[in-house]
Amino acid sequence: MPMRILWFGLIVAFVVTEIGTMNLTSIWFALGSLAAFLCAVFGGSIQWQIVLFVAVSGLTLAFTRPFAKRFLDVPRKATNADRVYSMVGTVVEEINNANATGTVKVGGKLWTARSMTGEVLKAGTYVRPQAIEGVKLIVIPVGSENQNTL
């Protein structure tokens, strides 16, 4: 198989992978493959093709990754709702997933709630939020030793 076909196939594979992930995970290898492909087209030896692939991939990775990471990694901003994850709440209305009922009070606010484990949680049970799905708080029960954290 001519090396041109191999390098062209790698270019396509790396570009498709990059389009699928959009995380700058394989674009450098696509550029390295392009350099090796051009070397093969112009009659370069297999050794030169491999050297170019490694060198171009490594250099583009080394020089562009820190720059790209700085602009692509947008820090996640906490919302007011995120604060409930560190709190303990009390079941105000029995949580019963089968009946789609349940209310908890966390941080002075009432939330519609569902049990993460699926168990029925009686009023007065202490719970810890695990997730937020829409406007519902997904909770798990905690022991009475956490009563003083309300």
pLDDT in tens, 23-35: 777 889 999 999 9
The pLDDT of residue 145 is: 41
CATH, residue 131 = 2.40.50.140
Residue 149, in any domain of the structure: no
CA 117, 84, 150, 122 torsion-angle sign: negative
| Residues 55 and 101 both lie in one domain | no
Band of residue 21 on the pLDDT scale cut at 50, 70, 90: confident
Half-sphere exposure of 51 (CA within 13 A, CB side): 6
Compute φ and ψ for 38, nearest 5 degrees: -65, -40
Residue 133, in any domain of the structure: yes
Domain limit, last residue, from 54, 72, 90: 72
**Which one of 61-65, 86-90, 92-96, 105-109 scores highest in mean pLDDT?**
92-96
Per-residue pLDDT, averaged over 117-143, amounts to 91
Closest CA relative to residue 56, chosen from 23, 77, 29? 29
Residue 120, in any domain of the structure: yes
Rounded Cα distance, 16 and 23, in Å: 12
Type of residue numbered 49: Q
Residue 34 is part of which domain span?
3-72
